[in-house]
Amino acid sequence: MNIVVVGLSHKTAPVEIREKVAFEADALEDRLAQLLALPYVSEAMIVSTCNRVELYAATMRPEQVCVELQRFMAESHGLTPAVLNPHLYSYACQDAVRHVFRVTASLDSMVVGEPQILGQIKTAYGHACDCKSAGLVLNRFMHKAFSAAKRVRTETAIASSAVSVSYAAVELARKIFESLENKTVMLVGAGEMCELAAKHFVRYGVSKVLVTNRTYSRAETLAESFGGVAVNFANFREQLHRVDILLSSTGSPDYVIHAADIKAACKLRRYEPMFLIDIAVPRDIDPAVGKIDSVYLYDVDDLQGVVQANLKEREKEAIKAEEIIDQEVLRFHEWLANLTIRPTIVALRKQLEGVRQKELQRTLSSLGNLDDHERKMLDAMTSAIVNKILHHPTRLLKQLNCDDDKLRYLDAVQMLFDLSIQPPSDDMAELPED
């Protein structure tokens, strides 16, 4: 049995292509049933996110199934192969295993180390389980992918540093204040970046969120979502002395906060530290504010510098992560290779053992009065003969890879010995010794 992956991602296809091949959640059951109906597809799974759409399959015929999955991807969305195929990638066997393990560990993500993809893969696997399109192979495969991702998270620092501007602001604030508990945050502006940063600040324990915006209703809406307080834009400067952390992004062509505003606030605060983040372009905060004692001012370029430095650190950690992935790929590949050939080896050994037992009993009956020692000697001798006969073919089958030429050896053995092959099960994870 082998793993096959066919798909596209942000690396191979623009958004206008990705959105055309996305699978709707309420249509997954039908789509998975259609995948299982394809020739040689034993198990199937669909991953569909904004950045990637991938089909996973377990099969004994990887080359044929790659072609079938490409055709399925195009026909399911009314696209021609000429339009879609240039954006598709196909992986089979060990390459497919490595690809999925890397994806699940977020090594193939737009932002290396981001945590969302693991949850998305788990959701996709959950759909496959619910629709009963995942069996022995995909069950083991996905659990190994999840454990590989966990190893990457725990044994490397790939996700420990901020790689977004909004989170970099929170990371810097935590360094300045050590703890964000009992701190007050003010958002000047109610745009997406301010909202994202506020979510991070709340997650790390700030006690109060103040929101001001030129449109007061927008400030009220955003403040309500965080259990905060809206402040009228005309007099928000009067509240600055209450603020430990201020994040500004208004889109104003002129400075919104001046040095005099912050000096007055610092005096009322008795020069307790203030952290100001200006992510507006043009800038909202007069750069002269950064020269005031006890005030820490960062603009968007400063934060981008933090992000870039952190990205470089993640790249270093990614090298360690790739080593972990290589180890896990080999372990799963060994299990999968054993699963593929074990039914044939078990059937072959069972058949020869049956012949041995039958002939041994016939011989013992014809020999007459033998003592227990002599009977055991004959049993051991015939058992050794069978083991020696099986030794070479068993070793050869254990060395098989997933290409069709070598799979023919399995077919040949099954035909030559007229073997009855049972489907693999959980207890076929390991091969017996020769």
Active site residues: 50
Any bridge partners for residue 298, and if so which? 277
Range list of β-strands (E), 49-134: 52-59, 89-92
Is residue 159 classed as helix, strand or coil in its secondary structure? coil
Q: What are phi and psi of 226, to 5 degrees?
A: -110, 10
Output the CA torsion 121→125→128→133 (10° steps): 110
CB-based contact 45:60 (threshold 8 Å): no
Report the candidate in 49, 57, 62, 182 with the shortest Cα–Cα distance to residue 114: 49
Q: How far apart are CA 89 and CA 111, in angstroms?
A: 20
- Length of the chain (residues): 434
* CA atoms lying within 13 Å on the CB side of residue 289: 28
Q: Long-range contact list for 62-65, CB < 8 A, 24+ apart?
A: 62/2, 62/3, 62/4, 62/92, 62/93, 62/96, 62/402, 63/92, 63/404, 64/39, 64/40, 65/4, 65/38, 65/39, 65/40, 65/41
CB-based contact 117:106 (threshold 8 Å): yes
